[in-house]
Amino acid sequence: MECLLPAISLGVDLVRFITYLQLHFIKSVEEIAKRVKKLPNVLGFDSLNEPSEGWIGHYLDNRMEHPTIQPKALGKIWQPIQAIYSSHGNTVEIPVQRVNLFKGGIVSDTSYFANPLKQSIWLEGCSDPFQSAGAWRLNADNSFTVLQNDFFRVREGNPVEFDRDYLFPFIQQLTKAIRNYNQDWIIFAEKPPGSSREFPSNVPVNMVNASHWYDIVTLGTKRFNYPITLDFNRKKIVIGANNIQEIYERHLSAIKSASKSINKGCPTLIGEFGIPFDLENGKAYASWTKKNRSPKIWKKHVLALDLMYNVMDKLLLNSTQWNYTAHNRNDPRVGDCWNQEDLSIYSIDQVSDPTDINSGGRALEGFVRPFPHFVQGDLIEFSYRRKKKRFIMRFIADPKIKQPTEIFIPKIYFSPEFTIQSSGCNSEYDEDSQILSLKANLDGEITIRISDIK
C-alpha cells in the first residue's frame, strides 16, 4: 500500500509512512534475531501474522467482496469510500451479513449505523491523504464524489497485485535482515487468510508455506453447526460428519497443493487452526459452573476438532493448533485476553485437580491423539478412529536408519495393555513418555495397527 499513499513529512525527512512502519517492524525483529541467533532450537521466523490486503485491489465503492479472496464475507460489509467518508464525522449505514441455514447460506438482513455521534478523526484544517491524492472529494453540501474509483487497483497505469507488489517484497526485506544473523533460518510465510491466489514467484528461498486455516462458519458464528452446516466457499448446505470433513479436506488440500509452486516445492505447515471454545455463548462453561464435569459438555468441540485432525492426518500435514493461553478464563470479557477470542485448549477455570497434568484442558479427546513423531523410513499414511481407539500407520521401512519409529500413544485414552499388530518390528512402550518405539529389521512396507482393549 505504501506506493498508493502520498509522502508524509515526519519533520526530518520525507518518507512514505508505510515504509517508515515497515522499517521499524523489521528492526524490531532484528533485535530478536540478535538475541536468539545462537539457540539451536530456533528454526526460523514467521514473516507477518495474517497479513491483510486492506483496500488494495478493491474499487472505492466495492463492498469488499473480492472474488479471489473472499467472495462472501461475514459481519459488517464496508465500502472503502464509506469508511473514509465516515471518518469525516458522517454517519453511514453498513449492511451486516450472517449465516442463516434456513435460508440456505449467507444473508444480509440487518444494518449497522457507523459513527452515530458524527465524530471526525481529522484535526481542524487537515485532510485525509486519499482526498489530497485526488481519490475522492468531500462536497460543500457534505456529500461525496468518487474521482478515482480504481485508486487502490492501479498504479502508474498498471494493475496492482497485493502479494506480488507489496507483501512479498516486504517479506524479502525481512528475510534479508534476519538472515544476516543466521543464513539457515527458515521463513514461515503466509498470504491473507482465505486467499485462493497462487503464491507469486518472488518468494524467499528456504520458505515454508505457513498458511492459516479455520472453519470460517464455526469461527465467525461461534457455533459448530452439526449435523447441518454451510459450505462457505460453495454456498451449499451439507449434512453429516463425513460431508463436513470433506469440506475441510478440500480447503486444506488446496493449501498443500499451493506449496508445489513455491521454489519447485516447499513444506507446508498449517500455521494456525482451531475452534472457539465458547461455542453457543459459552454453553459448556455454564455446565461447568453447575459442577457438570462430564466429557459430554465438550461433545461438539471434540467432534469439530476430530474432523479437522482426521484431515490433517490424511493429508500428512504438519499443523499448530491455536492456542494455549496459560491465563485464559471462561469469562467472555477475558477469554484469551485478546479481541474477546477464546480458542485456548486450556483454562484456569477448568482446573479441578492441580495435581493432574491434564486438569485445565478443554475437549482433550479432540486433540490428544496418537501421532508418529519419527518414522524409520518413508511415511505412506496414518489414521486414527477416535471412537474405536484404533490407530493404523503404513510406511516403507529403511533398516539403515538406526533410530526407531516413535509413536505418541496418550495414556489418558489408552490403557497400558493396548494391543500392537506389526510384522518385522520390535516394539517397546515407555509409559512415562507415552512413546511407542518400533525398530524395523527388514526393508519394505510395514503396517502397524494399535487398538485399546477397553
Q: Do 349 and 254 have their domain in common?
A: yes
Residue 371: the pLDDT is: 97
Using the structure block, give the residue that is written with the C-alpha cell 519409529.
405
Determine the average pLDDT of the residues in 90-104. Answer: 87
Would 84 be classed as within a structural domain?
yes
Gap between the Cα atoms of 91 and 147, Å rounded: 21
End position of a domain, from candidates 99, 121, 151: 151
Residues 227 and 338 reside in one and the same domain: yes
Average pLDDT rounded to a whole number, residues 130-142:
93
pLDDT digits (tens, 9 = 90+) for 16-33: 777 888 999 999 999 999
Strands 269-273 vs 318-321: parallel, antiparallel or unpaired? parallel
Q: How many domains does the chain have?
A: 4
pLDDT of 213 = 96
DSSP for residue 296: G
Average pLDDT over residues 252-262: 94
C-alpha cell read off for 389: 481407539
Query: Which H helix or E strand runs over 323?
Result: none
User: Which among 91, 70, 73, 74 is positioned nearest to 82, based on CA atoms?
Assistant: 91
pLDDT band at 293 (very low <50, low <70, confident <90, very high): very high
Q: What is the pLDDT of residue 393?
A: 98
One domain, residues 102 and 146: yes
**Residue (of 91, 186, 97, 86) closest to 136 by Cα position:** 86
Give the pLDDT of residue 66: 44
Q: Does residue 198 carry a pLDDT above 60?
A: yes
Residue 438: domain span: 371-451
Same domain, 421 and 355: no
Amino acid at 234: R
Angle of CA points 305, 310, 311, to nearest 5°: 105
Question: Are 190 and 319 in the same domain?
Answer: no
Report the pLDDT value the prediction gives residue 454, as an integer from 0 to 100.
Answer: 60
Place of cell 467432534: 303
Q: How confident is the model at residue 438 (pLDDT cuts 50, 70, 90)?
A: very high
pLDDT given for residue 434 in this prediction = 97
Say if residues 85 and 145 touch (Cβ distance below 8 Å). Answer: no
Tell whether 420 is covered by a domain: yes
β-sheet bridge partners, residue 430: 435
pLDDT at 453: 73
Dihedral angle sign, alpha carbons of residues 190, 172, 56, 130: positive
Looking at the fold, whether 408 and 306 belong to one and the same domain comes out as: no
For residue 127, pLDDT beyond 80: no
What is the pLDDT, as a whole number, of residue 25? 96
Question: Which residue do the cell numbers 498443500 mark?
Answer: 256
> How distant, in Å, are the alpha carbons of 254, 285, 412 from that of 249?
8, 30, 28
Asked whether residue 128 falls in the same domain as residue 181, the answer is no
Average pLDDT over residues 117-130: 89
Which has the closest alpha carbon to 85: 36, 30, 143? 143
Q: Kindly report which listed range (155-169, 266-280, 288-302) carries the lowest average pLDDT score.
A: 155-169
Per-residue pLDDT at 65 = 52
Which tens digit of pLDDT belongs to each residue from 302-336?
999 999 999 999 999 999 999 999 999 999 999 99
Task: Specify the DSSP class assigned to residue 30.
Answer: H
Q: What is the mean pLDDT of the chain?
A: 91
Residues ≥6 apart with Cβ < 8 Å to 256: 268, 315, 317
Pick the more confident residue, 7 or 310.
Answer: 310
Q: What is the mean pLDDT of residues 150-177?
A: 94
**Domain membership flag for residue 116:** yes
d(CA 52, CA 64): 12
Q: Report the percent of the chain where pLDDT is more than 70.
A: 94
Q: Is 204 inside any structural domain? A: no
pLDDT tens for 167-192 read 999 999 999 999 999 999 999 999 98
Residue 11 banded pLDDT, cuts 50, 70, 90: very low
Distance CA(365)–CA(412), nearest Å, equals 9
Residues 45 and 67 in one domain: no
Longest dimension (CA), the chain: 85
Tell me what the mean pLDDT of segment 120-127 comes to: 87
pLDDT in tens, 41-95: 999 999 999 999 989 999 999 875 544 444 467 889 999 999 999 999 999 999 9
Same domain, 330 and 311: yes
Note whether 378 and 444 are same-domain residues.
yes
Predicted pLDDT of residue 67:
41
Report if residue 39 sits inside a domain.
yes
User: Which cell numbers in the block locate residue 138?
Assistant: 468531500
Check pLDDT > 80 for residue 105.
no
Would 156 be classed as within a structural domain?
no
In a domain, 200, yes or no: no
Class of residue 169 by CB neighbours under 10 A (exposed 0-12, middle 13-18, buried 19+) = middle
4 plus 29 within the same structural domain: yes
Q: Residue range 247-270: average pLDDT?
A: 95
- Cα–Cα nearest to 107, from 82, 79, 72, 78: 72
Residues ≥6 apart with Cβ < 8 Å to 339: none
Nearest to 112 by CA among 78, 64, 63: 78
Kindly state whether residues 323 and 378 are assigned to the same domain: no
User: What residue has cell string 489414521?
Assistant: 383
In a domain, 206, yes or no: no
The residue type of 402 is K
Residue 408: how many CB atoms within 10 A of its CB?
14
